[in-house]
Homo-oligomer: A and B are copies of this chain.
C-alpha cells in the first residue's frame, strides 16, 4: 500500500479497490474461498452448497428516480447471490442511522425493502439497527448480507470463461450510475433517466433452465461493464473482444455521459448481468433473457478469445481497436 490514507477511489471498484483487497485483506483473511473474489462466496455447509454475499449501501441521494437505498440494498445482494447460479433465500439487514433522521423516510425505505424482498422471493430474517450521533454518518447506510442455495451441478465462476464463449449483456449500460450522478452536486439535467435497480434472480433461473453451459455470471455494478469484463479476462486468463456498435445504451444516458465526459462502459448498473455462455447455447440463453421483464434489451456484445489473455479489446464503430482497461481514477462518485 503506497497511499497513507484511504481515498474515495479505494471504494470505487477499480484498480485501487483491487489493490486494497489484494495487499491488505487477502493475506490476512487467507483462505481459498475469499481469494476467488466472486460476487458471492461459495460454501459447503453440512453437505449443502451455499452462496453467501455482503454489500453496504451508502448511496447519496438516498431517494432517486427508479428507487431508493432500501430496494437497492435488497436487489444488490439478491443479484450478487444469483450470480453464482444460486437461488437467493434469506437476507440480513444492518442499518446505521444518523440521529435526527426522519422516521417517515425510514418507513418509506423499510417498506421498499419489504416490497423488493417479496418481488425477489427472499425473506429478511435477521437485522440490526445502530444509531450514531448527528454528523457521524450521512443519513442512513444499509448493509445487506444474504444466503442462497446453489443447485446441484451448477458451477458458475469468474474463472470459467473459455475461448469461443459468447458474452451476453442483459440490457442497457449506465442507467443507475448516471441517474445518481444527475441527482447529485446540483446537476439535475432534465433527462428521462432512472435507475435500473432490479432483482435478477428470476432471470437467472430462466437461464439455468435453458442451458447448463453458462460459464460466468457477473453483475456490472461499481466499475461497470468494462471493469467486470477485465476481472473475468484476468480470472479466466482469456481475451475478451466486444463490439462498440452492439453495446446497448439509452440515448439519454449516452447524452449525459458525453456531456460529463464519462464512458458508459465504466458507469454502474444495478439491474443488469453479464453472462459468458458456450457459443452453441448463446442464442437460446439470449432468447430467455429477453423474455424476462428486466432483460428486454439484452444482446450479445462480444466473445471470449484465446488472443491477448487478461485484456479486453473493443472493436470501434469506425473499425479500429481500443483496449478497455481496468479504470484507475474515480470515474464516478459512489453510486451504490
Residues on A lying within 8 angstroms of B by beta carbon are: 1, 3-12, 17, 20-21, 24-25, 28-31, 33-34, 40-41, 43, 45-48, 50, 52-56, 58, 60, 89-90, 92-104, 106-107, 110-111, 113-114, 117, 123-133, 135-138, 141, 143, 145, 147, 149, 334, 336
Contacts and interface: CB of A to CB of B under 8 A. Distances in A.
Number of copies: 2
A145 B45 contact: no
A185 to B, nearest CB: 11
Contacts of A126: 33-34, 40-41, 52-54
B52 A97 contact: no
Given A29-B93, A147-B147, 5 more contacts: A6-B98, A25-B110, A45-B147, A54-B94, A54-B145
A99 B8 contact: yes
A123 B1 CA distance: 24
A332 B89 CA distance: 36
Nearest to A43: B90
B58 A103 contact: no
Contact of A107 (B12, B24, B101): B24
Nearest to A143: B143
Contact of A46 (B10, B17, B149): B149
Contacts of A43: 89-90, 125, 147
A113 B24 CA distance: 12
A45 B49 CA distance: 9
A128 B54 contact: yes
A334 B52 contact: no
Contacts of A90: 33, 41, 43, 45, 52
A168 to B, nearest CB: 25
B93 A54 contact: yes
Contacts of A130: 11, 56, 58, 334, 336
Give me the 6 closest cross-chain CB pairs, A-B, nearest first: A11-B131, A145-B145, A54-B92, A28-B114, A136-B138, A143-B143
A141 B54 contact: no
B113 A29 contact: yes
Contacts of A3: 103
16 contacts: A5-B102, A6-B99, A8-B131, A20-B129, A29-B110, A41-B90, A43-B125, A45-B149, A54-B93, A54-B143, A55-B128, A56-B130, A58-B132, A58-B136, A96-B96, A137-B141
Contacts of A127: 21, 25, 29, 34, 54
Contacts of A131: 6-12, 334
A244 B41 CA distance: 47
